[in-house]
Chain A
């Protein structure tokens, strides 16, 4: 069971806007930045969003992140077939000696 909670699946049709939620607690999302990773089938994860809402160079502005309290969300607008992937949220957790925590992942299907 993951520390951060994500829906296991999401779907949309090309051109639609979809959102993926990530719920945590005061020791992780509530007090630290949230990061989002995209994992295309058979590949390593790729950084998609950093510090809640920043995009690395090369990531299309169709991808956006937000955070409020102990929850965060990833939005993908103008959905494309190549966006079909697993998406993971991550945050540092300050409890105990500190450690990184991930969500369980959301499999996005483009119908």
Chain B
């Protein structure tokens, strides 16, 4: 059974940093690209970032480019999101999501499994 468990969320002041983690199990982690997708309270879904199976291809939403860094450790079956210079508008539930393909943006790729999310609140 595929399981994705996010952690690392919490309350943080504007301008500070936070690192999210996603522990994956139930599938061969290094066979798939992985993503972070967020959902602000009462709002819709927003893709944040994606990383290919071997970290060779990475993409970011414009809203986080230059501030967030995605990474993965295939030996630990883990996905990470380093979030710097946090803003109030980054407040959201952050989901880890598995892709069906090796690379981000593959023709037949999509998010087929999602974790339950970890809440990030940016406030003074």
Please name the residue on chain A nearest to B109 by beta carbon.
A92
Does B32 reach chain A (CB closer than 8 Å)? no
Q: Out of A37, A43, A46, A92, which one reaches B45, CB within 8 Å? A: A37
Residues in A with CB closer than 8 Å to B110 are 33, 35, 47, 50-51, 90
Let me know if A44 and B45 touch, CB within 8 A.
no
Please name the residue on chain B nearest to A96 by beta carbon.
B62
Does B59 reach chain A (CB closer than 8 Å)? yes
Size class of the contact patch on chain A: 20 to 34
Does B107 reach chain A (CB closer than 8 Å)? yes
Q: Mark B101-115, 1 if CB is under 8 A from A, else 0.
A: 000110111111111
Given A47-B111, A56-B112, A2:B44 Cβ within 8 A: yes
Q: Whole-angstrom distance between the alpha carbons of A104 and B59 in the complex?
A: 21
Q: Whole-angstrom distance between the alpha carbons of A21 and B95 in the complex?
A: 25
Q: Whole-angstrom distance between the alpha carbons of A92 and B47 in the complex?
A: 10
Q: Out of A45, A99, A102, A105, which one reaches B114, CB within 8 Å? A: A45
Q: Whole-angstrom distance between the alpha carbons of A104 and B45 in the complex?
A: 7
Does A63 reach chain B (CB closer than 8 Å)? no
Q: Out of B59, B61, B108, B115, which one reaches A44, CB within 8 Å? A: B115
19 CB < 8 A contacts A-B: A2-B44, A33-B107, A33-B110, A37-B111, A45-B37, A45-B45, A45-B114, A50-B110, A50-B112, A88-B45, A90-B111, A97-B59, A98-B104, A99-B47, A100-B35, A100-B105, A102-B45, A102-B46, A102-B47
Q: A35-B110, A35-B111, A104-B44 are in contact. List 14 more A-B contacts (CB 8 A).
A: A2-B44, A33-B110, A37-B45, A44-B114, A44-B115, A44-B116, A46-B114, A47-B111, A47-B112, A56-B112, A90-B111, A99-B47, A99-B105, A105-B44
